[in-house]
Amino acid sequence: MVMTVRTWLLRTPKRWRFLHDVPWKRLWRFAAAVFLLFSVIGFYNDLLNMGRIPYAIVLALAFISGVDAVLWIVTVSRLPWIFILPLAALQFFLGPWMGALAGWMGVTFSLTSPGSEPGVRFAGTCILVAVIASYWLFVNFFQVESRESLRIKNELALAHGIQKTLVPPVVLRTALYEVYGISRPSDQVGGDLVDAVVLPNGDVVAYVADIAGHGLSAGILMGMLKTAARTALLDAAGVEDPNATLPLLLEKLNRVLPDVKEPQMYATVTAFRLNVDGRAWYAMAASPPVLHWHAGGGDSQLVHEEQFPLGLLPISGFTSETMDLSAGDLVAVTTDGVLEVCDQHEQEFGIERVEQAIAGDARAALANVGERILRNAAAFGKQQDDQTLLLIRRL
C-alpha cells in the first residue's frame, strides 16, 4: 500500500504527459505563451485600481503572475504529483506577498502614481500586446508540434511497411506438413515474429519469437532477431544430428541478443523442426504452452518446456524434444497478445478458448483456423499487445 501511494505521488499526471515528452527547445514557445497570457492578471489588477498603480509595480505584478503560471505548467508536465502540493500552498501566500512587494517597491524607489487616464491606457495597451503575442506563440508552438507529429507519423508509416516486409504471413506446404503463421502488431510496429525457413535438404524450421514490449524499439530488435535466426539456421544446415538444430539456434540467439538490445529487453521463442521423413522436434524458451490437437481422438494436450528467455543470461545447454505428430494433428502456438486479451471482467482469453476455436473446425484450412482464433480474441476483448500465431498440421 505504501509503495502504491509512493508510486502515485511520484508519477507525472497522465493528462499532461504529452508536454512531458516535448523537448525544451520546442516547449519554450508554449511556456512563453502561458507567461504572457497570465501576465494579463497584473495589468487587469491595475485597471481595477483605475490605473493608479506605478508602472514598475504593474510590470512586477504581471511578471510574477506569468511566472506563477509557468511554474504550474512545468510542475504538472515535468515533475511528479507530490510537487503540486507546495505549489498549491504557495497560492495562499501569493496575494499578500505581491501586496507586500508593491508596498516595498513604492517606498524604496519613491514610486508615484502615473494618474488614472495614462495608467488605464498603459494597462490596456499592455493587455492587448500580451494577448496578441501569446496568441502568436501558441499558434507557432502548435505549428511546430504538428510538423513534428506529421514527421513521426510518416516515419511510423514507413516502419509499418518495413514491419509487413519483415513479418509477412507464412504459408508453406511440404509433402508431410502444412504451416501457417500471421502476426498483427498492436501499434504500427510490433515485436512479434513468425517465420519459416526451408533448409537445403527440404526440412523446415518454423518459429515464433516475442520481444518483450511492443512499439518501435521491439520492432527493431525483432528485425535483428530474424536476421540472426536465419543466419544461425544456415550454419545449422550442415549439422548431421537434426535434434541439435533448435538448441543451436537458441544458443546463438542468446549470445547475439545482449549486444544489440536494451538491458531490460528479452525474447521468448518457440521453434519446430519438421523433417521430410515426418519426424518433428520442438524447443521453447520461456514461451506460452504449445497446444497439440490430436486428430484421432479429437482431444488436445498442452506441451511445456521450461527454459530461460533469450538475451538475459549468458547460459547455454538449451534442449529440444521430439513431438509425435499423426496424420491430421494440428499444433498451435500463440503469443501473450492473444492469450492475455481481457474482457470487461478482467478474465483472460486463455489457451482454453484457443482450443475451443480449433476444435470448432480443426480440419478447416489453417488460414481459416487462424482467422477464427484472432476473430474470437477480438470479440472477447481489446487488443493490448502484438498478436501472433503459428499453426502446423501433419498431412
Greater pLDDT, 23 or 3: 23
The predicted model gives 289-318 an average pLDDT of: 92
Query: Which residues, 6 or more positions from 309, have their beta carbon under 8 angstroms from its beta carbon?
Result: 212, 266, 267, 268, 285, 286
pLDDT (0 to 100) of residue 16 = 59
CA torsion, points 63, 69, 74, 75, in degrees to nearest 10? 120
pLDDT (0 to 100) of residue 383 = 92
So where are the chain's domains?
2-159, 168-394
How confident is residue 5, by pLDDT bands cut at 50, 70 and 90? very low
The predicted model gives 153-162 an average pLDDT of: 74
Tracing cell 510542475 back to the chain, one arrives at 75
Would you say residue 395 has pLDDT above 80?
A: yes
% of the chain at pLDDT higher than 90: 60
Would you say residue 7 has pLDDT above 60?
A: no
Average pLDDT over all residues of the chain: 88
Would you say residue 227 has pLDDT above 70?
A: yes
pLDDT in tens, 113-138: 998 999 999 999 999 999 999 999 99
The predicted model gives 216-225 an average pLDDT of: 85
The predicted model gives 16-29 an average pLDDT of: 79
How confident is residue 238, by pLDDT bands cut at 50, 70 and 90? low
pLDDT (0 to 100) of residue 257 = 92
Would you say residue 341 has pLDDT above 60?
A: yes
CA atoms within 13 A on the CB side of 236: 26
The three-state (H, E, C) secondary structure of 373-394, written as one string: HHHHHHHHCCCCCCEEEEEEEE
CATH number of 168-394: 3.60.40.10
Would you say residue 47 has pLDDT above 80?
A: yes
CA atoms within 13 A on the CB side of 61: 28
